[in-house]
């Protein structure tokens, strides 16, 4: 039992065993992430090195890869990115540990390189101040310290292998628990606490001008369409933010400047003090494939954007309303659209009676009927600059998307579901779906069964031209088996949806939604 060779290794002989070496790398990683997340809770949630690197990765990702990720993973693309990063980090940590079996130098170098990457990511985030650099710096130091400590512990000669093992595992366990607790505390402190509390304190919003009530018969939800108003929790969400920006109503301010007669700066209370209007508007995303889910409708509450801009006095020559969010996302909207009183653009603070949910832009966002979200729907908006198209280039324009972005007239079949089975009654069944042409209005929806003639569908009770319209139609099937149904909408300008298929890039998908299904 007096074996001088330690369980792990003596001061002078062989390298660390592979599992122990890998474990030292993982401990360094855990310490770095835990400590970074903890400090980030105090200096800005987005400064958590893991999230900051993720956010920078999102911004640096080439458009084709983003499109592929979005179309493959849908709105889970953020979770997939974070999970992928976690896997890479774990592999790198294990690799760094294994490369350090003889000396802690290689692992230390890897930690420094990754730490500096974190610093660079935080430094270049537009939504983080200088202080936020503390998070990746502490992360780097904690990672380095714990890795070297664990390495030293593993290398220490002990009288017996059992004692060596015990000492190392105790030390490792201690580090792991400390890292985990720090990370957890950071999550609790920095989580959605402040902004959520600020939002909850506002309570329900009562607009001075309410939207007309939604009439009975505005949707065919019983037949499979969405409900006319989308509950806030079900409203589609699209944005580039990995962590939902946390802005309290108390700290929020909006600046209106650029080509204006006088600058305006507004706080949340200034908005509440103005007469609030409520408008029923359907929003949709340019990345929505034909038949896709990125469309929802809400009663948005806010102040009239055209009135606000008129107060500021838009100067001649202003073409673009360039808006910026608290997390640095930017958006360009045609000035003629936002100034058109008929369009009814909103600086919105509420959705379906409540303050905007955090994911949908609390404290305030823009909503412009008839334009895709990427050219109009700035969430967490803090800055409105009146400018020209030449002077400023918004986030998605830099990445190849169109600079105008009017919503394309579209329709979707909700029932039958693609590849679904339909039980017919007396050889017939009812198909149903939605159609939209915001700011223009839907005039007609037609369907074609098995490439037969177009049959006009019955439309739901109209609400307004800025929101979707539901349709239903009874169809006879001469025989059971597989069938195909296509739909197309005609809007109030007389335009009928083209059959020509186009992808979402650069300005929205076209083509008829078609489903294959089986009748029994
Ligand atoms: N700050 C910010 N606002 C944003 C975006 C974003 O990435 N960041 N995405 C836009 C896009 S592409 C769309 S379609 C709408 C979606 O709004 P929603 O998530 O409330 O449905 O928000 C828009 N506003
Ligand atoms: Mo979008």
* All residues at 6 or more sequence positions from 136 whose CB lies less than 8 Å from its CB, including other chains: 36, 47, 49, 52, 115, 118, 119, 121, 122
Query: Mean pLDDT over residues 205-220, rounded?
Result: 97
Measured between alpha carbons, how far is residue 475 from residues 31, 428, 480, 495, 512 in Å? 63, 5, 13, 25, 18
In whole angstroms, give the CA distance from residue 20 to residue 175: 14
Quote the percentage of the chain above a pLDDT of 90.
68
Give the closest ligand to the alpha carbon of residue 359: 1
Residues 248-306 pLDDT 10s: 999 999 999 999 999 999 999 999 999 999 999 999 999 999 999 999 999 999 999 99
In whole angstroms, give the CA distance from residue 219 to residue 227: 6
pLDDT tier for residue 218 given thresholds of 50, 70 and 90 = very high
DSSP symbols for 28-63: HHHHHHHHHHHHHHHH-GGGSHHHHHHHHHHHHS-H
Give the closest ligand to the alpha carbon of residue 75: 1
* Ligand 1 lining (C-beta closer than 6 Å): 235-240, 283, 285, 325, 329, 360, 373-374, 377-380
Task: Determine contact, residues 396/377, Cβ cutoff 8 Å.
Answer: no
- The alpha carbon of 236 and the centre of ligand 1 are apart by a number of angstroms equal to 10
Measured between alpha carbons, how far is residue 202 from residues 272, 304, 306, 325 in Å? 10, 20, 25, 21
Q: Whose CA is nearest to atom 12 of ligand 1?
A: 374
- The alpha carbon of 156 and the centre of ligand 1 are apart by a number of angstroms equal to 55
Quote the percentage of the chain above a pLDDT of 70.
96
In whole angstroms, give the CA distance from residue 101 to residue 252: 51
pLDDT at 1 exceeding the cut of 50 = no
Q: Whose CA is nearest to atom 19 of ligand 1?
A: 237
Give the closest ligand to the alpha carbon of residue 379: 1
Give the closest ligand to the alpha carbon of residue 296: 1
Identify the structural domains of the chain with CATH numbers, from first to last.
18-157+164-199 (no CATH), 221-399 (3.90.420.10), 410-519 (2.60.40.650)
Residue with tokens 């009812």: 430
User: Looking at per-residue confidence, does 510 or 152 come out higher?
Assistant: 510
pLDDT attached to residue 12:
43
User: Looking at per-residue confidence, does 519 or 186 come out higher?
Assistant: 519
- The alpha carbon of 236 and the centre of ligand 2 are apart by a number of angstroms equal to 10
Residues 223-249 pLDDT 10s: 999 999 999 999 999 999 888 898 999
In whole angstroms, give the CA distance from residue 404 to residue 78: 27
Query: Mean pLDDT over residues 204-226, rounded?
Result: 97
DSSP symbols for 355-366: EPPGGGTTT-EE
H helix or E strand, kind and range, residue 388 = none
pLDDT attached to residue 132:
84
pLDDT at 10 exceeding the cut of 80 = no
pLDDT attached to residue 193:
57
pLDDT at 176 exceeding the cut of 90 = no
Rounded to the nearest 5 degrees, what angle is found at the Cα of 112, between the Cα atoms of 106 and 116?
150
User: Looking at per-residue confidence, does 404 or 444 come out higher?
Assistant: 444
pLDDT attached to residue 179:
83
Nearest to 470 by CA among 480, 485, 458, 481: 458
pLDDT tier for residue 444 given thresholds of 50, 70 and 90 = very high
Residue with tokens 């009676």: 353
Q: Whose CA is nearest to atom 15 of ligand 1?
A: 373
User: Looking at per-residue confidence, does 386 or 184 come out higher?
Assistant: 386
- The alpha carbon of 361 and the centre of ligand 1 are apart by a number of angstroms equal to 8
Give the closest ligand to the alpha carbon of residue 300: 1
pLDDT attached to residue 335:
98
* All residues at 6 or more sequence positions from 480 whose CB lies less than 8 Å from its CB, including other chains: 424, 518, 519, 520
Other beta carbons less than 10 A from residue 454's beta carbon: 15
In whole angstroms, give the CA distance from residue 104 to residue 102: 7
Task: Determine contact, residues 488/512, Cβ cutoff 8 Å.
Answer: yes
Q: Whose CA is nearest to atom 16 of ligand 1?
A: 238
Other beta carbons less than 10 A from residue 97's beta carbon: 30
Atom of ligand 1 nearest to the CA of 283: 21
Task: Determine contact, residues 349/364, Cβ cutoff 8 Å.
Answer: yes
- The alpha carbon of 292 and the centre of ligand 2 are apart by a number of angstroms equal to 12
pLDDT at 2 exceeding the cut of 60 = no
Task: Determine contact, residues 514/501, Cβ cutoff 8 Å.
Answer: no
Query: Mean pLDDT over residues 81-85, rounded?
Result: 83
Q: Whose CA is nearest to atom 6 of ligand 1?
A: 239
User: Looking at per-residue confidence, does 146 or 156 come out higher?
Assistant: 146
pLDDT tier for residue 443 given thresholds of 50, 70 and 90 = very high
Helices 134-155 and 49-60 cross at an angle (nearest 10°) of 120
Task: Determine contact, residues 383/260, Cβ cutoff 8 Å.
Answer: no
- The alpha carbon of 457 and the centre of ligand 2 are apart by a number of angstroms equal to 29
pLDDT at 131 exceeding the cut of 90 = no
- Residue to mutate, 355, 377, 397, 406, ligand 1, most ligand atoms under 8 Å from C-beta: 377
What pTM, to 2 d.p., does this model score? 0.80
- Residue to mutate, 238, 332, 356, ligand 1, most ligand atoms under 8 Å from C-beta: 238
* All residues at 6 or more sequence positions from 482 whose CB lies less than 8 Å from its CB, including other chains: 516, 517, 518
- The alpha carbon of 75 and the centre of ligand 1 are apart by a number of angstroms equal to 12
pLDDT attached to residue 56:
78
- The alpha carbon of 359 and the centre of ligand 1 are apart by a number of angstroms equal to 9
User: Looking at per-residue confidence, does 354 or 181 come out higher?
Assistant: 354
In whole angstroms, give the CA distance from residue 477 to residue 23: 65
User: Looking at per-residue confidence, does 12 or 502 come out higher?
Assistant: 502
H helix or E strand, kind and range, residue 93 = helix 77-98
Q: Whose CA is nearest to atom 24 of ligand 1?
A: 378
pLDDT at 65 exceeding the cut of 90 = no
Give the closest ligand to the alpha carbon of residue 298: 1
Give the closest ligand to the alpha carbon of residue 377: 1
| Burial group, residue 355, by CB count within 10 angstroms (0-12, 13-18, 19+) | buried
Q: Whose CA is nearest to atom 10 of ligand 1?
A: 374
Atom of ligand 1 nearest to the CA of 327: 1
Q: Whose CA is nearest to atom 9 of ligand 1?
A: 239
- Residue to mutate, 78, 233, 239, 362, ligand 1, most ligand atoms under 8 Å from C-beta: 239
- The alpha carbon of 251 and the centre of ligand 1 are apart by a number of angstroms equal to 21
User: Looking at per-residue confidence, does 212 or 125 come out higher?
Assistant: 212
pLDDT attached to residue 13:
55
- The alpha carbon of 287 and the centre of ligand 2 are apart by a number of angstroms equal to 6
pLDDT attached to residue 4:
42
pLDDT attached to residue 258:
98
Task: Determine contact, residues 293/410, Cβ cutoff 8 Å.
Answer: no
Q: Whose CA is nearest to atom 4 of ligand 1?
A: 378
- The alpha carbon of 397 and the centre of ligand 2 are apart by a number of angstroms equal to 12
pLDDT at 370 exceeding the cut of 70 = yes
């Amino acid at each position: 039992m007096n074996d001088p060779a330690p369980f792990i290794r003596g001061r002078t002989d062989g390298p660390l065993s592979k599992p122990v070496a890998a474990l030292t790398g993982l401990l360094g990683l855990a310490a770095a992430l835990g400590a970074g997340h903890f400090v980030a809770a105090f200096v800005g949630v987005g400064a958590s090195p893991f999230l900051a690197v993720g956010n920078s990765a999102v911004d640096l990702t080439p458009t084709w890869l983003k499109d592929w990720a979005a179309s493959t993973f849908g709105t889970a693309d953020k979770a997939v990115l974070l999970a992928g990063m976690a896997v890479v980090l774990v592999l790198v940590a294990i690799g760094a540990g294994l490369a350090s079996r003889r000396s802690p130098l290689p692992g230390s170098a890897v930690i420094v390189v990754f730490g500096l990457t974190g610093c660079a990511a935080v430094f270049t985030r537009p939504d983080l101040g200088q202080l936020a650099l503390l998070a990746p710096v502490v992360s780097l130091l904690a990672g380095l310290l714990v890795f070297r400590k664990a390495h030293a512990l593993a290398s220490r000669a002990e009288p017996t292998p059992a004692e060596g093992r015990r000492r190392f595992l105790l030390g490792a366990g201690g580090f792991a628990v400390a890292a985990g607790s720090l990370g957890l505390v950071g999550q609790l402190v920095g989580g959605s606490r402040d902004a959520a509390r600020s939002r909850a304190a506002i309570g329900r919003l009562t607009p001075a001008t309410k939207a007309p009530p939604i009439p009975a018969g505005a949707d065919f939800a019983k037949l499979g369409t969405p409900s006319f108003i989308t509950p806030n929790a079900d409203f589609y969400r699209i944005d580039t933010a990995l962590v939902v920006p946390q802005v309290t109503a108390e700290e929020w301010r909006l600046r209106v400047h650029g080509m204006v007669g006088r600058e305006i700066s507004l706080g949340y209370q200034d908005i509440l003090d103005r007469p609030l209007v409520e408008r029923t508007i359907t929003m949709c995303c340019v990345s929505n494939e034909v038949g896709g889910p990125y469309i929802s409708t809400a009663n948005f509450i806010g102040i009239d954007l055209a009135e606000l801009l008129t107060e500021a006095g838009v100067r001649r020559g202003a073409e673009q309303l360039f808006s910026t969010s608290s997390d640095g996302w930017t958006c360009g909207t045609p000035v003629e659209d936002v100034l058109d009183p008929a369009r009814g653009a909103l600086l919105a603070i509420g959705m379906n009676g409540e303050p905007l949910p955090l994911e949908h832009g609390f404290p305030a966002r823009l909503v412009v009927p008839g334009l895709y979200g990427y050219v109009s729907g700035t969430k967490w908006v803090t800055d409105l600059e009146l400018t020209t198209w030449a002077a400023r280039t918004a986030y998605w324009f830099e990445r190849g998307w169109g600079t105008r972005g009017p919503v394309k007239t579209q329709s979707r079949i909700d029932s039958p579901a693609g590849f679904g089975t339909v039980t017919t009654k007396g050889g017939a069944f009812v198909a149903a779906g939605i159609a939209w042409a915001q700011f223009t209005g839907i005039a007609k929806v037609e369907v074609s069964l098995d490439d037969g003639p177009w049959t006009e569908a019955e439309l739901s009770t109209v609400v307004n031209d800025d929101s979707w319209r539901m349709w239903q139609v009874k169809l006879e099937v001469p025989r059971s088996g597989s069938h195909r149904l296509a739909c197309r909408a005609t809007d109030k300008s007389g335009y009928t949806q083209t059959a020509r298929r186009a992808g979402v890039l650069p300005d929205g998908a076209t083509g008829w939604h078609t489903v294959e299904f089986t009748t029994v």
